[in-house]
Amino acid sequence: MTLPPQPGPPAERSPRAIPEATVSRLAIYLRVLGQLAEGGAETVSSEELAAVSGVNSAKLRKDLSHIGSYGIRGVGYDVASLQHELEKVLGLDHPQRVALVGVGNLGHALAGYGGFGGRGFPVTALFDVDPDLVGVPLGGIEVHHVRDIAAVVPAAGVTIGMIATPAQAAQAVCDELVAAGVRSILNFAPAVLQVPEEVEVRKVDLAVELQVLAFHVARRSGGITEGVATVSPVVNGRHGSAVGLS
Amino acid sequence: MTLPPQPGPPAERSPRAIPEATVSRLAIYLRVLGQLAEGGAETVSSEELAAVSGVNSAKLRKDLSHIGSYGIRGVGYDVASLQHELEKVLGLDHPQRVALVGVGNLGHALAGYGGFGGRGFPVTALFDVDPDLVGVPLGGIEVHHVRDIAAVVPAAGVTIGMIATPAQAAQAVCDELVAAGVRSILNFAPAVLQVPEEVEVRKVDLAVELQVLAFHVARRSGGITEGVATVSPVVNGRHGSAVGLS
DNA sequence: TCGTGTGAATAGATTCACAGCG
DNA sequence: CGCTGTGAATCTATTCACACGA
């Protein structure tokens, strides 16, 4: 068999307004802002927001500067309005509909995950090949056969696909989703997906994550300390939980 | 804290460093090599291995150069020996034992995930707070109460912890794991963990992944084509193979 | 000759440090 | 004053292109 011919396309430049690394942190800031808002905070400084988000304040300010100037000098950021701006940038003003393919062990858990952190990403369509699953409703949503992706996905207005199938099936499912118009895919299968360049794939790869951790265990020559534990509720040892200097 | 830093000359760097970005790709190459080996391949070129792994060949060669010179000029890499070298570097020569905290919806799926991609990461200890779960065996492993982490984790020789609890519980569980000697943690809870710097945390954050995808959907102004799926944007390669779908 | 391995060039992300505004 | 926003410096990662070895 031949390899996917991917020599060297003439590198189409998209003028990326917001750096990729920044985008995923914006999502974290948004979550943290939600917690602060619940706690009654009206404003936050970059120092505070950064500390709770686990980044340093310069990075946070640079990240936020990419979406505009919503801070107040000498004060900080207004929690509510920053939340709103972040939601707008992340495209959360109108919710995305999600299709999940593969309702096995993992897929089942994903389907039941309740809006993924609270809100914004309703799973609207489910697919599998297993005859025992197809037709059965799961959390109020019927499981369709994978062969019906082309029909169901466009009708349901799905914009994001999640693949939680075994590795062998993942590429075929991915092709189906792409053919059905899906341009954003979250892949849980341990397989590298080949897609046209207009399709955005992100992967969640448990085996890779564990192997990276194993690498660090090995490198640190001895994962577990031999003497039994120290004190139990060891709070963080890093920069002070509130405001710390770098 | 790592090694005693050398005082005198400026900026003498450790020669052994493998870039972070490289490490996670090594895990992917290893998986792909496994597939190639099953397919009977003896050797691969960087071009081939890179294409299947979804990276370009220069990056792959640079990545592999960090672990040594195991290629044969004019030929490529010996599949079996490269596999072996990668396993060694990733610390997979002797398996890591994993503790999973939180045996709810997601945790249950993780526990049943069967060695995570096939091998090397046996889940050795399970924890939860739910009285209905504690004491019950799950896949042959008894679920302990979270309060017993300090006792069970060192005894079981756990080197990697996975947190699949609700967000509110995650930091406390993390502190327990760290106190029990765990230095590598995979966090599935939607929370930012504060840890001492000798602890390596990786996170799998579904909400963030989906929001990043939502960002790209929004930016591409119209994720799904509204016309019916007349288009099939010629997906590259890889069709005729045995596809488990019908 | 072919494909690895690698210096050099480029691109991207992070951190520093401070000007300037509220 | 205190804190944001940002140029400049630094560090990390990717890509190029070619010398060299099998």
Length of chain A: 246
B43 touches chain A (CB under 8 A): no
C2 C1' – B52 CA distance, angstroms?
20
- Pick from B27, B215, B225: which is nearest to A208 by CB? B27
Round to whole Å and give the CA distance between B147 and B173: 9
Round to whole Å and give the CA distance between B113 and B122: 10
- Categorize the per-residue pLDDT at A114 as very low, low, confident or very high, splitting at 50, 70 and 90: low
More confident call, A16 vs A117: A16
Strands lying side by side in the sheet with B160-163 = B137-138, B141-145, B123-128, B98-101, B160-163, B184-187, B200-203
Which nucleotide is closest to the Cα of B45 by its C1'? C3
Mean pLDDT by 10 residues, chain B (246 residues): 36 66 98 97 98 98 98 98 98 94 94 66 96 95 97 98 97 98 97 97 96 95 42 35 31
CB B109 within 8 A of CB A105: yes
D4 C1' – B172 CA distance, angstroms?
34
**pLDDT (tens digit, 9 = 90+) per residue, A216-225?**
999 986 434 4
Quote the pLDDT of residue B119.
Answer: 72
Round to whole Å and give the CA distance between B160 and B31: 20
Quote the pLDDT of residue A28.
Answer: 98
B106 is in an annotated binding site: yes
Structure tokens at B189: 């809870």
Q: Is the CB of B57 under 7 A from strand C?
A: yes
Q: Name residues 131-190 of chain B within 8 A of A (Cβ).
A: 150, 154, 157-160, 172, 175-176, 178-186, 190
- Alpha-carbon Rg for chain A, nearest whole angstrom, is 22
Quote the pLDDT of residue B113.
Answer: 75
Round to whole Å and give the CA distance between A217 and A204: 21
Quote the pLDDT of residue A230.
Answer: 32
Q: Is the CB of B73 under 7 A from strand C?
A: yes
Quote the pLDDT of residue A113.
Answer: 75
Quote the pLDDT of residue B205.
Answer: 96
**pLDDT (tens digit, 9 = 90+) per residue, A54-113?**
999 999 999 999 999 999 999 999 999 999 999 999 999 988 999 999 999 999 999 987
In sequence order, the β-bridge partners of residue B123 are: B98
For chain A, give the mean pLDDT: 85
Q: What number of H helices and E strands is found in chain B?
A: 9, 10
Least confidently predicted of A8-12, A121-125, B106-110: A8-12
For domain B98-207, the CATH class is: alpha beta
- Categorize the per-residue pLDDT at A240 as very low, low, confident or very high, splitting at 50, 70 and 90: very low
Beta strand B43-44 pairing with B71-72: unpaired
- Categorize the per-residue pLDDT at A228 as very low, low, confident or very high, splitting at 50, 70 and 90: very low
- B245–A186 CB contact, under 8 Å: no
Q: Decide if pLDDT at A45 tops 90.
A: yes
- For the segment(s) A20-89, the CATH number from 3.90.1480.20, 1.10.287.3610, 3.30.565.10, 1.10.10.10 is 1.10.10.10
CB A125 within 8 A of CB A99: yes
Q: What are the boundaries of each domain within chain A?
A: 20-89, 98-209
A238 touches chain B (CB under 8 A): yes
Identify each DSSP E strand in B41-197 by its residue range.
43-44, 71-72, 76-78, 98-101, 123-128, 137-138, 141-145, 160-163, 184-187
Q: Is the Cα dihedral A151, A152, A157, A159 positive or negative?
A: negative
φ, ψ (nearest 5 deg) of residue B217: -60, -50
- A210–B96 CB contact, under 8 Å: yes
Structure tokens at B130: 């739910």
Phi-psi region of A140 (alpha: psi -120 to 50; beta: other; left: phi over 0): left
Chain B residues touching residue A202 (CB < 8 angstroms) = 209, 212-213
Phi-psi region of A74 (alpha: psi -120 to 50; beta: other; left: phi over 0): left
Least confidently predicted of A10-24, A156-170, B65-79: A10-24
Q: Is the CB of B20 under 7 A from strand D?
A: yes
B17 touches chain A (CB under 8 A): no
Q: Decide if pLDDT at A15 tops 50.
A: no
CB B92 within 8 A of CB B110: no
Chain A residues touching residue B190 (CB < 8 angstroms) = 31, 117
- In this structure, whether the domain defined by A98-209 belongs to CATH 3.40.50.720 is answered with yes
- B194–A224 CB contact, under 8 Å: no
A196 touches chain B (CB under 8 A): yes
Q: What is the dihedral of CA B20, B21, B24, B26, to 10 degrees?
A: -100
Spatial CA neighbour of A179 closest among B233, B149, B57: B233
Q: Which residue has the tokens 């830093």?
A: B5
Q: Decide if pLDDT at A117 tops 60.
A: no
CB B186 within 8 A of CB B204: yes
CB A143 within 8 A of CB A136: yes
B119 touches chain A (CB under 8 A): no
